[in-house]
């Protein structure tokens, strides 16, 4: 079947090419497209066609503008000049509208870019569009069947693919044998995976088919990150032995920087189970991928693979029978295959919602533009009198809106660039695992998307108000200008005002509340010299190399490590905790003996499990009661609370009182009672709640799970505690070769990553909230002001006929008050219904509603007073 | 009234048409783009070629007509192009004009001082 050019691109060409040339250009492009399909494949040809369509659309549009007058719309450079002039002439509209458009574009394109990076990224692999994910999909349950080993083996004979592979991920510690180690994600992958990726090693070799032979030597290909980090960029790394998951591997090669195929993998070991599986749907769940031959479509490949599999019967009991018949082979774009089907649907929904919000934002700007259009009736009338058609005037308005949208979009894309850059710098700085195709560049599709959105905004902001503004027919405008008495906005505009106010009252409080919480985030570690401590996670491998589950062995190892560190020079103290101040802690609900919270919401309480010497080592004095003792560690069940916790007791004596942790939804499901023995000052629990984080410290008994963060006090270490990391690693290795120390950081920096994330999020929320307020305020003001100013003559005549000015103003205000209060009331009702927690803080949405009413009233007052000042004789004369 | 000179790209397009027709190859959008890219080694914006051809046709320097559908797979009829007598004259004049300017011009090995 012949492949057709992409429909949207073809439609774009259809509207952008002048009629006289349209059929010629489309025919020629079809011819080249057919040739490209044969030469480079359907997907690459489609990409070429889209690029060509964008280029043609742009050039033909530019030609129309430059050599105006030939096209059906008769666009001329005059339109551009007028549009540019209008941008400067209305600085208020340019600023408010431009910023609103910038925010809308930034948010929508950021979401698009994010979704694209997850679902449709451009992989940094040669001919990456040929790389696909293979799946067995059950349409009845929407589940994927992962046991692909047998099929993978048989699919190797398929003609539609050049290479096929599969992998399983393993997160395990990788260590070098001298104590250095880190947790990494490795791919146990078929050797053919490297052929699918098509990337050559930096040095050494990749995996080869012989490595998959059962009983063969254990070999590993290392990533650039592992080589440059853990292996110290060792030039003689090939042949070096490392330990991963209880097995020793010999390094055979190193991949180049940035290579993390299949997703975020740092090492590759051979997958040997594929060839050993004799039955379909047996063996471990795998992810499978392939590289399609040029010109082969996904559908054709799926048909061939399904055919190959169908030739072999299924013996797996739960799949034999009707279910297996229903299973479909799917060949999907590589990254989309890694995302659950539900997430794909959700991302489309998110995108639709954002586009709707963008259109609402554009509609807001449109109301501002409409208010301006209304003041330009005379200009429209004069142009019409000089021979301009309605279409011609619409084009002029469209270009004015386009100029505004382009300015906004440029600022919006600037914001997108900065945000993506910052986010990626942050991701890279934390070393967090991320797909290897993520980078800080904006995809070309995102630019195209932004361009399409800009056009959409220009259409909404330009054409809609202009159609309304010229509805009477431009020829009649000149006459109409002279005796226009009232322009009725009607039900539509009333609805717009009500919805506008309701949305603002409803959406802003949650955004402001989130932003406020993020801005209040503070680093922990206040109240002690956090910069003098080095913190790290300590992990213990078992004999097989996997993470040890033996808590007693872990406790003994930590005790040995503490002893060894105390003997090291410069170390003045060592302590352990589940988390240290300033990093994210667990929060739970607790019951306090003798304290009833009544109707008050029970506060969530943070907690950490700490070694008995925790406060002594951090040099934090106990304010009331006593510190933990080593005897406490034998029995456990004693806690020290912080001052915020103390505040909840309303002046009662905390010492000797018991608290119990709630374990589930059932109020009776409580943990064992723990006795409060002391009070310390607030050291900061969560960066998100620096001021009101009530919490307690529970003493750790030997072997308590999760107490594996160490803090080493180094007050006199000359290069700062960070420089002690290497020594810490060596001491740990000497103590126990299975001990690993991970993420060594000075304690005051330990919570920085979360803090930065909170602040970035808060800034974004605040920015969007402020834009919402500005735009809504400007929109309501202009609509109100416009409706009243259009009634100038009506008001003046009423006054001339003897109407009391107070009654006139009351009549004007009553309508405005009804509209605004309906909006505010609706907004408050909706937010209290949807977010009951705002029932307590109802002052926030109510104040926003009142604010909008004041703005609306002010907007009515100014033109109404102006109308009342017109001399009665003048008003009657004009009518 | 002095005749309006041909632009560089206009000359390029017209000369591609001349080359194609001289070689008995059909001159239309696709082949003209290919011919320019093959001879110059530069990528050409397809839309620019169509826009230029339209402009040249309006000036009477090229003419176009619908050809018969071709026999090849997916064969379509094509809008074929040829340079008119006025076009040939304009090309000659452009060449003469440039030759006049080039005659005796000695270019220094390096520009500026």
**Whether A30 and B76 lie within 8 Å, measured CB to CB:** yes
CB-CB under 8 Å, A56 with B47 = yes
A251 near B CB under 8 A: no
Within 8 A of A60 by CB-CB distance, chain B residues are 47, 51
Q: Considering only CB atoms, which chain A residues are within 8 Å of B73?
A: 34
Q: Averaging pLDDT over each range in A346-355, A360-369, A390-399, A541-550, which range is the top one?
A: A390-399
Q: How confident is the model at residue B4 (pLDDT cuts 50, 70, 90)?
A: low
Alpha-carbon separation of residue A114 from A243, A427, A429, A779 (angstroms): 36, 14, 19, 31
In angstroms, rounded to a whole number, what is the distance separating the alpha carbons of residues A152 and A172?
Answer: 26
Total beta-carbon pairs less than 8 A apart between chain A and chain B: 45
Lowest-pLDDT range, A207-211, A428-432, A850-854, B59-63? A428-432
Residues in chain B whose beta carbon is closer than 8 A to a beta carbon of chain A?
28-30, 45-48, 50-51, 54, 73-74, 76-79
Nearest residue to A51 (alpha-carbon basis) of A638, A385, A447? A447
Average pLDDT over residues A422-440: 79
Chain A residues closer than 8 Å to B54 by CB: 18, 20-21
What is the helix, strand, coil percentage profile of chain A, to 5?
Answer: 55, 15, 30
**3-state DSSP helix/strand/coil % of chain B, to nearest 5:** 50, 10, 40
- Per-residue pLDDT, A122: 80
Does A876 have pLDDT greater than 50? yes
Nearest-CA distance A15 → chain B (Å): 14
**Dist CA A31 CA A296 (whole Å):** 19
Picking from A28-37, A606-615, A652-661, A837-846, which range would have the lowest pLDDT averaged per residue?
A837-846
Q: What per-residue confidence (pLDDT) applies to A457?
A: 87
* Contact at CB, B51 and A34, closer than 8 angstroms: no
pLDDT at A482: 39
Tell me: the pLDDT tens digits for A216-262?
899 999 999 899 888 889 888 999 999 887 788 999 999 998 899 99
Confidence check on the interface: ipTM exceeds 0.90, yes or no: no
Q: Do A28 and B30 touch (CB under 8 A)?
A: yes
Check pLDDT > 60 for residue A433. Answer: yes
Do the Cβ atoms of B51 and A25 come within 8 Å? Answer: no
Q: Which two tokens stand for residue A633?
A: 């560690």
Lowest mean pLDDT among A180-189, A457-466, A581-590: A581-590
Q: Number of C-alpha atoms within 13 angstroms, CB side, residue A785?
A: 19
Q: Tokens 């667990």 identify what position?
A: A586
**In A433-531, which ranges are continuous DSSP H helix?**
444-458, 464-469, 474-483, 490-520
* Interatomic CA distance for residues A294 and A581, integer angstroms: 56
Q: Which of A21, A30, A32 sits opposite B50 (nearest CB)?
A: A21
Q: Rounded distance, CA A414 to CA B57, Å? A: 43
What pLDDT, on the 0 to 100 scale, is given for residue A410? Answer: 94
Residue A112 pLDDT exceeds 60: yes
CB contacts of B79 in chain A (<8 Å) are 24, 27
Q: What is the pLDDT of residue A238?
A: 92
What does the DSSP 8-state code read for residue A662? B
Structure tokens at B10: 């206009």
CB A515 within 8 A of CB A766: yes
pLDDT of residue A753: 66
If you write DSSP's letter for every residue of A561-587 in order, what string do you get? HHHHHHTSTT--EEEEESS-TTS--EE
* A841 in contact with chain B, both atoms CB, cutoff 8 A: no
Q: Rounded to an integer, what distance in angstroms lies between the CA atom of residue B1 and that of residue B7?
A: 18
Choose from B35, B51, B58 for mutation: most chain A CBs within 10 A: B51
For CA atoms A59, A60, A62, A63, the dihedral sign is: positive
Residues 20-49 in A contacting B (C-alpha not used; CB under 8 Å): 20-21, 24-25, 27-32, 34
- φ, ψ at A184 (rounded to 5°): -130, 165
Peptide linkage before A262 cis (omega within 30 of 0): yes
CA–CA distances in Å: residue A811 to residues A450, A496, A806, A814, B108: 45, 21, 9, 5, 85
Residues 6+ apart with CB under 8 A from B33: B44, B46, B49
* Long-range contacts, stretch A420-426, CB < 8 angstroms, 24+ apart: A420/A110, A420/A113, A422/A760, A423/A760, A426/A753, A426/A756, A426/A757, A426/A760
Taking Cα atoms as reference points, which of A63, A65, A60 lies closest to residue A75?
A: A65
CB nearest B54 (choices: A21, A31, A34): A21
CB contact under 8 A, A2 and B74: yes
Counting runs of H as helices and runs of E as strands, what totals does chain A give? Answer: 27, 23
Predicted confidence (pLDDT) at residue A73 exceeds the cutoff of 60: no
- Predicted local distance difference test score (pLDDT) of residue A72: 39
Distance of alpha carbon A279 from alpha carbon A283, whole angstroms? 9
Q: How far apart are CA A731 and CA A740, in angstroms?
A: 10
Which whole number is the average pLDDT over A656-674?
Answer: 82
- A53, closest residue in chain B (CA to CA): B47
CB A334 within 8 A of CB A435: no
Instruction: Give the one of A20, A56, A63 whose C-beta lies nearest to B46's C-beta.
Output: A56
pLDDT of residue A878 exceeding 60:
no
Q: What angle do CA A616, A622, A625 make, to 5 degrees?
A: 125
Question: Residue A326: its pLDDT value, please?
Answer: 64
CB nearest B29 (choices: A24, A58, A59): A24
User: Residues of B with CB below 8 A from A34's CB?
Assistant: 73-74
Residues counted in chain B:
113
Nearest CA in chain A to B72: A31
pLDDT at A638: 92
pLDDT class of A414 with cuts at 50, 70, 90: very high
pLDDT at A524: 59
Hey, is the C-beta of A62 within 8 angstroms of any chain B C-beta?
no
* pLDDT one-digit tens code per residue, A254-309: 999 889 999 889 999 998 876 666 667 777 788 889 999 988 888 899 888 888 88
The minimum CA-CA distance between A158 and chain B, rounded to whole Å, is: 28
Which residues neighbour A47 within 8 Å (Cβ) at sequence distance 6 or greater?
A129
Task: Place A463 in a pLDDT band, splitting at 50, 70 and 90.
Answer: confident
pLDDT tier for residue A193 given thresholds of 50, 70 and 90: very high
The residues near B77 (Cβ < 8 Å, ≥ 6 apart) are A27, B66, B67, B68, B69, B70
Shortest CA gap B89–chain A (Å): 25
Chain B residue numbers touching A20 (CB-CB < 8 A): 54
Residue A554 has pLDDT above 60, yes or no: yes
Under an 8 A CB cutoff, do B76 and A29 touch?
A: no
Dihedral Cα A122, A123, A127, A132, nearest 10 deg: -100
pLDDT of residue B19: 94
Q: What is the largest CA-CA distance in chain B?
A: 61
Is B51 close to A59, i.e. CB distance below 8 A? yes
Judge: A25–B77 Cβ closer than 8 Å, yes or no.
no
Indicate if the pLDDT at residue A489 is higher than 70.
Answer: no
A811: Cβ contacts below 8 Å, ≥ 6 apart: none
Q: Kindly identify which residue of chain B lies nearest to residue A34, measuring between CA atoms.
A: B74
Beta bridge partners of A253: A204, A221
- Residue A477 above 50 pLDDT? no
Output the pLDDT for position A795: 78
Mean pLDDT of A142-158: 80
| pLDDT for res A690 | 60
Tokens of A722: 């960070």
Closest partner residue to A59 (CB to CB) among B28, B45, B76 is B45
Which of A597, A675, A692 is closest to A639 using CA atoms? A675
Residue A471 — pLDDT band, cuts 50, 70, 90?
A: low
Using CB atoms, which residue from B45, B51, B76 is nearest to A31?
B76
Contact indicator for A500, A820 with CB cutoff of 8 Å? no
Q: What are the chain A neighbours of B30 within 8 Å (beta carbons)?
A: 28, 31-32
**What tokens does A857 get?**
């009233």
Indicate the residue of B28, B45, B73 with minimum beta-carbon distance to A28: B28
Cα gap A806→A812, rounded to integer Å: 10
Cβ atoms within 10 Å, residue A638: 21
DSSP per position, A664-707: SSSTT-B---EEEEEEE----S-TT-SSS--EEEEEPPTT-TT-
Q: Are A652 and A497 in contact (CB under 8 A)?
A: no
pLDDT digits (tens, 9 = 90+) for A812-832: 788 788 888 888 889 888 888
Cβ of B29 within 8 Å of Cβ of A60? The answer is: no
């Amino acid at each position: 079947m012949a492949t057709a050019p992409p429909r949207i691109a073809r439609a774009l060409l259809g509207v952008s090419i002048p009629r006289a040339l349209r059929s010629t250009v489309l025919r020629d492009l079809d011819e080249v497209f057919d040739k490209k399909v044969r030469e480079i494949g359907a997907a690459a040809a489609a990409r070429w066609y889209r690029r060509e369509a964008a280029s043609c659309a742009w050039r033909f549009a530019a030609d129309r503008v430059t050599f105006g007058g030939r096209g059906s719309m008769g666009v001329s450079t005059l339109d551009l000049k007028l549009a540019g002039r209008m941008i400067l002439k209305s600085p208020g509209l340019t600023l408010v509208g431009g910023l609103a458009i910038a925010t809308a574009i930034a948010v929508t394109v950021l979401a698009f870019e994010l979704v694209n990076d997850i679902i449709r990224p451009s992989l940094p692999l040669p001919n990456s569009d040929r790389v696909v994910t293979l799946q067995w999909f059950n349409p009845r349950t929407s589940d994927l069947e992962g046991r692909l080993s047998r099929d993978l083996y048989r699919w190797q004979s398929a003609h539609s693919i050049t290479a096929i592979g599969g992998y399983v991920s393993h997160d395990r510690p990788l260590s070098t044998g001298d104590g250095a180690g880190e947790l990494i994600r490795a791919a146990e992958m078929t050797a053919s995976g490297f052929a699918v990726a098509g990337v050559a090693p930096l040095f050494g070799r990749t995996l080869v088919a012989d490595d998959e032979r059962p009983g063969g030597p254990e070999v590993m290909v290392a990533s650039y990150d592992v080589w440059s980090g853990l292996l110290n960029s060792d030039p003689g790394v090939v042949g070096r032995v490392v330990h991963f998951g209880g097995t020793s591997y010999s390094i055979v090669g190193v991949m180049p920087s940035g290579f993390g195929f299949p997703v975020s993998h740092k090492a590759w070991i051979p997958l040997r189970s594929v060839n050993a599986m004799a039955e379909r749907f047996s063996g471990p769940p795998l992810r499978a991928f392939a590289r399609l031959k040029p010109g082969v479509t996904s559908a054709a490949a799926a048909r061939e693979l399904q055919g190959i599999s169908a030739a072999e019967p299924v013996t797996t009991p739960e799949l034999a029978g009707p279910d297996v018949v229903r299973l479909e082979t799917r060949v999907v774009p590589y990254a989309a295959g890694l995302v659950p089907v539900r997430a794909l649907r959700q991302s489309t929904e998110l995108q639709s919602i954002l586009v709707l919000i963008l259109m609402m934002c554009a509609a807001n700007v449109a109301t501002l533009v409409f208010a301006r259009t209304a003041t330009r009736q005379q200009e429209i009338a004069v142009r019409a009198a000089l021979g301009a058609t309605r279409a011609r005037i619409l084009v002029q308005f469209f270009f004015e809106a386009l100029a505004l949208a382009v300015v906004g979009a440029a600022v919006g894309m600037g914001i997108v660039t900065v945000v993506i850059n910052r986010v990626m710098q942050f991701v890279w700085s934390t070393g967090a695992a991320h797909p290897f195709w993520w980078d800080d560049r904006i995809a070309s599709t995102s630019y195209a998307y932004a361009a399409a959105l800009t056009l959409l905004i220009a259409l909404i902001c330009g054409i809609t108000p202009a159609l309304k503004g010229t509805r009477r027919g431009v020829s009649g405008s000149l006459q109409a200008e002279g005796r226009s008495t009232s322009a009725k906005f009607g039900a539509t505009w009333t609805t717009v005002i009500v919805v506008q106010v309701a949305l603002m009252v409803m959406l802003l409080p949650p955004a402001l509340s989130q932003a406020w919480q993020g801005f209040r985030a503070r680093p922990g570690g206040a109240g002690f010299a956090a910069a003098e401590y080095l913190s790290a996670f300590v992990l213990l491998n078992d004999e097989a190399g996997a993470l040890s589950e033996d808590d007693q062995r872990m406790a003994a190892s930590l005790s040995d490590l503490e002893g060894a560190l105390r003997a090291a020079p410069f170390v003045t103290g060592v302590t352990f905790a589940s988390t240290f101040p300033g990093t994210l802690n667990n929060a739970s609900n607790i019951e306090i003996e003798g304290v009833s919270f009544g109707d008050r919401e029970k506060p969530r309480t943070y907690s950490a499990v700490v070694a008995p010497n925790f406060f002594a080592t951090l040099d934090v004095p106990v304010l009331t009661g006593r510190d933990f003792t080593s005897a406490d560690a034998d029995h456990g069940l004693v806690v020290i609370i912080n001052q915020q916790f103390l505040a909840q007791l309303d002046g009662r004596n905390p010492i000797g009182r018991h608290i119990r942790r709630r374990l589930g939804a059932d109020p009776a499901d409580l943990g064992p009672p723990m006795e409060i023995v002391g009070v310390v000052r607030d050291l900061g629990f969560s960066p998100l709640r620096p001021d009101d984080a009530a919490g307690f410290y529970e003493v750790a008994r030997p072997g308590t799970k999760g107490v594996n963060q160490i803090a080493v006090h180094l007050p006199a270490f000359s290069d700062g505690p960070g420089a002690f990391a290497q020594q810490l690693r060596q001491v740990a290795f000497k103590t126990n070769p299975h001990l690993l120390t991970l993420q060594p950081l000075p304690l005051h920096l330990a919570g920085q990553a979360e803090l930065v994330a909170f602040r970035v999020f808060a800034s974004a929320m605040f920015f969007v909230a402020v834009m919402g307020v500005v735009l809504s305020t400007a929109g309501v003001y202009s609509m109100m002001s416009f409706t009243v100013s259009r009634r100038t003559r009506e008001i003046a005549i009423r006054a001339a006929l003897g109407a009391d000015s107070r009654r006139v103003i009351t009549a004007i205000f009553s309508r405005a008050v009804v509209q605004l209060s309906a909006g505010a009331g609706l907004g408050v009702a909706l937010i209290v219904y949807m977010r009951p927690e705002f029932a307590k803080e109802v002052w926030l949405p109510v104040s926003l509603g009142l604010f909008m009413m004041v703005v609306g009233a002010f907007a009515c007052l100014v033109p109404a007073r102006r109308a009342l000042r017109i001399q009665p004789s003048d008003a009657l004369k004009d009518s | 009234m002095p005749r309006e000179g041909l632009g560089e790209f206009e000359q390029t397009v017209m000369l591609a048409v001349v080359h194609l027709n001289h070689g008995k190859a059909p001159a239309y959008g696709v082949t003209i783009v290919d011919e320019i890219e093959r001879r110059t080694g530069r990528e050409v914006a397809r839309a620019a070629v169509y826009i230029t051809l339209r402009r040249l046709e309006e000036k009477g320097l090229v003419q176009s007509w619908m050809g018969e559908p071709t026999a090849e797979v997916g064969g379509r009829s094509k809008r074929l192009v040829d340079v008119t007598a006025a076009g040939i004259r304009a090309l000659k004049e452009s060449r003469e004009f440039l030759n006049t300017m080039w005659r005796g011009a000695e270019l220094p090995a390096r520009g500026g001082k």
